[in-house]
Each structure stands twice: as structure tokens, then as C-alpha cells.
Amino acid sequence: MKGILGLLSKKSKTASGEEQADSLLFTTAFAGLGLDADLLVPWEARSVEVGAAKLSAGRGTKLLQGLWAKDKYMRQLDQDAIGRMERFFEFATVAANRDIIRQDEYSNFMVVLLSGSIAVDRVQPWGERLRLAEAAPGEILGEMSLLDSGMRFSICTTLSPCDIAILSADAMDEMLTTDPTLAASFIALLARKLSLRLRVVSARLSDNK
């Protein structure tokens, strides 16, 4: 584990000249692809567009703990671990009919739905808007782009007023630097959930052949 975490970080110096681990894995990933910074949509910009209201960290963390305690994978993070994650998340309330994630854009954040319902749609090349899923509380959206720095695959639209938790690339790097064990566990669980989702999609495609 220590060797892997070493590869995910670089050394920088503090004001006193001491070396410290400083992860840039997620923050610089989009730039590494040659993406123009002006094309990257951060949560700060999207929150203004959708008129998001701030939700208290205490309330958001309590919702997160309750939801992930019931999740097959995320419950491996105990309440203490989720409590430690509070400093890395932003929490917000978003009104209905707001696009918090847009198809084919580049953006450096993922979202955990804490309450309400979110539609996951994809616009087909011929213009039809296809409903892929309706996310329920506890589900994670947008983690693929955070992990691989790729374009968003779908549109995520609030169907009702929603409370959400937002984790940015900057916050992921901060977690890797300040709490690497927690970060490694969280990334592993994200990968497992993503793998499960891909297996379900593959099974559906196989059934349709």
C-alpha cells in the first residue's frame, strides 16, 4: 500500500523547508490530456448555474452515513471514516429540473445523491433523449470522469429538490495527501461500484443480442 501511495504523490516543500507529500494525481489529469482549462467545468461554476444552496456539513455527513451504511460496498467505510471525509466534501441543495452534470462536457467533480431523485439520460446522435436510469439516494454520479478525466457520458437532471455531496479533483488530491489510507479505501470502493455497473450494462447488452 505504501508503495502505491508513493506513486500517487510528489514531494513539495513547506514554508519551513520540510518535505511533504503533495498529490496532484486528479488535479492535473485533465491538463495531462491537453485539455484547455477554459473547457473544464468545476462545481463552483455549475453551482452558480443551477442556483445551488449550501447544505450544512453536519447534515450532509449524517445523511451520507445513513445511506452508505446500507450500501453493499460503501458500508465498508465505517462512520468514523465517513466522518473524516466531511472536510473533503461540499454539500448543497439543488432545485428540481436542474442539470448538475451535462453530457459531453469536461468537469472535475463527482456527486453523491443524499435525498431526492436524479434522472440519468443520454442524448442519441439523432436527437432522442434516452432515460438510462433514475438515481436514488446513496448513489454516486460522475465518478467515471473524475477517475479517467474523460467526457461526461450522460446528463444528470434533478427530478425533485435534491441534497447532494460533491467531491472535486482538488479534494481527492487533498485526501490522498492528508489521509492516504482513507483515500485508497474510497478509490477502491468507487472502482468496485463502477465495475459492478459495467457488468450490469454488459449483461443487458448480451441479453439484447
| CATH code, domain carrying 54 | 2.60.120.10
151 in a domain, yes or no?
A: yes
Mean pLDDT of 64-76: 88
Set of cell numbers at residue 89? 466534501
Tell me the pLDDT tens digit for each residue of 98-123. Answer: 999 999 998 889 999 999 999 999 99
Q: Hey, what amino acid is at 81? A: A
Using CB atoms within 10 A of its CB, is residue 186 exposed (0-12), middle (13-18) or buried (19+)? buried
What is the tally of structural domains in the chain? 1
Distance CA 1, CA 3 (A): 5
Instruction: Dump pLDDT digits (tens) for 152-165.
Output: 989 999 999 999 99
| pLDDT for residue 6 | 45
- CA–CA distance, 167 with 203 (Å, rounded to integer): 30
Say if residue 24's pLDDT is above 70: no
Answer whether residue 169 is part of any domain. yes
Query: Does pLDDT of 25 surpass 90?
Result: no
Q: Is residue 200 part of a domain?
A: no
Kindly state the DSSP code that residue 75 receives in the 8-state scheme: G
Among 13-22, 25-34, 165-174, top mean pLDDT goes to 165-174
| Rg over CA atoms, the chain | 18
Of 61, 158, 164, 41, give the one whose Cα is nearest residue 109.
41
CB-based contact 167:113 (threshold 8 Å): no
The closest of 189, 19, 161 to 92, measured between CA atoms, is: 161
Q: Tell me what pLDDT residue 208 has.
A: 60
* CA neighbor of 173 nearest in space, from 40, 35, 21, 45: 21
**105 inside domain:** yes
Q: What is the pLDDT of residue 35?
A: 63
> Does 81 fall in a domain?
yes
Q: Give the structural domain span for 169.
A: 26-176
Asked if residue 201 has pLDDT above 90, the reply is: no
18 in a structural domain? no
Helix (H) or strand (E) holding 19: strand 19-22
On whether residue 129 sits in a domain, the answer given is: yes
In a domain, 40, yes or no: yes
Give the CA count within 13 Å in the CB-facing half-sphere of 75: 6
